[in-house]
């Protein structure tokens, strides 16, 4: 895993999130390949379902295919193997919000050595162009919209904890929220049932991924939140990703969505 820090508009050091670093690296790779005329028409970018959609927007700006996978870099590695064998798509970049990145397809897991080298090259490029990584990130936001993410975890130990995690998942699965923070829920994805429910058309569609006990809710403005019990610890994780055209509004909305969802969780007995 790799962490990156940069000076913000006030000259203070700020640590970038995995989503932010991933977006910067992806933007750098694709923009440089496009400028050099080496961007393949059949390129693809891979990210996990709990990773920000900013990377998907950047990739689609270059008319590239985006592959969403379950959490865990092994699933990105699986897609690399699949498309290398079929020749359908050429791998360009893969990442997850938890600070994992992979540039070359000769490795099938997150690789901090590659990521460190690319991050240093990227920082040097932006410095030569007269901007910091923070300023480069703001330029991306201005083009694609502002994004802000957060992660909340509830640790629930023992037999009672397992039961409580089950009740939380069952409640959201059986009674999905229709509205959060004033925004309509337009898509409800149940990765255990492998079904995506379009709440506007009321038409279900299959999710072509391995079954996993994950629920994801997408709002009308493109924001989303996701519930995922940990597979290794007695906890349940709540992922939040919010987008809007304004930085301050994005922060306000992210806090409101997070507060409303966690308040709902606290009421489940």
Residues 81, 204: one domain?
A: no
- Give me the residues paired with residue 219 across strands: 185
Residues 111, 40: one domain?
A: yes
- Cα distance between residue 210 and residue 192, in whole Å: 8
Q: Give pLDDT tens digits for 8-21.
A: 999 999 999 999 99
Residues 124, 172: one domain?
A: no
- Dihedral Cα 58, 62, 63, 66, nearest 10 deg: -40
Q: Give pLDDT tens digits for 241-269.
A: 999 999 999 999 999 999 999 999 999 97
Residues 22, 106: one domain?
A: yes
CA distances from 114 to 21, 52, 168, 255 (A): 14, 21, 39, 34
Residues 88, 62: one domain?
A: yes
Residues 166, 116: one domain?
A: no
Residue where a domain stops, chosen among 144, 162, 178: 144
Residues of the chain with pLDDT under 70: none
Sign of CA dihedral 116, 117, 123, 127: positive
Identify the domain containing residue 125 by its residue range: 5-144
Tell me what pLDDT residue 231 has: 82
Tell me what pLDDT residue 257 has: 98
CATH of the domain at 192: 3.30.310.50
Q: How many domains does the chain have?
A: 2
Residues 29, 50: one domain?
A: yes
CATH of the domain at 87: 3.40.120.10
Residues 99, 181: one domain?
A: no
Residue where a domain stops, chosen among 128, 144, 160: 144
Residues 61, 128: one domain?
A: yes
Residues 158, 240: one domain?
A: yes
Residues 73, 84: one domain?
A: yes
Residues 100, 138: one domain?
A: yes
pTM (2 decimals)?
0.94
- Cα distance between residue 39 and residue 62, in whole Å: 9
């Amino acid at each position: 895993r790799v962490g990156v820090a940069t000076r913000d508009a006030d000259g203070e050091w700020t640590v970038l999130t995995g989503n932010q670093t991933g977006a910067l690296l992806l933007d750098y790779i694709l923009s440089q390949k496009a400028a050099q005329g080496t961007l393949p028409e059949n390129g693809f970018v891979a990210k996990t379902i709990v990773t920000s959609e900013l990377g998907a927007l950047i990739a689609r700006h270059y008319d590239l295919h985006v592959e969403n996978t379950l959490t865990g870099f092994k699933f990105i590695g699986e897609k690399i193997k699949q498309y290398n064998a079929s020749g359908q798509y050429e791998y360009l970049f893969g990442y997850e919000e938890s600070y994992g990145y992979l540039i070359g397809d000769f490795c099938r897991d997150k690789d901090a050595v590659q990521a460190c080298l690319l991050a240093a090259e990227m920082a040097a490029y932006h410095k030569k162009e007269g901007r910091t990584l923070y300023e480069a990130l703001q330029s991306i936001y201005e083009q694609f919209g502002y994004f802000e993410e957060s992660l909340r975890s509830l640790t629930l130990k023992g037999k009672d904890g397992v039961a409580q995690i089950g009740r939380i998942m069952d409640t959201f699965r059986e009674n999905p929220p229709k509205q959060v923070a004033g925004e309509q829920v337009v898509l409800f994805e149940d990765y255990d049932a492998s079904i995506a429910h379009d709440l506007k058309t009321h038409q279900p569609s299959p999710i072509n991924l391995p079954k996993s006990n994950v629920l994801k809710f997408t709002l009308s403005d493109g924001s989303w939140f996701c519930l995922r019990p940990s597979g290794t610890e007695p906890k349940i994780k709540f992922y939040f990703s919010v987008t809007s055209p304004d930085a301050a509004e994005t922060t306000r909305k992210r806090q409101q969505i997070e507060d409303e969802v966690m308040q709902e969780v606290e009421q489940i007995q």
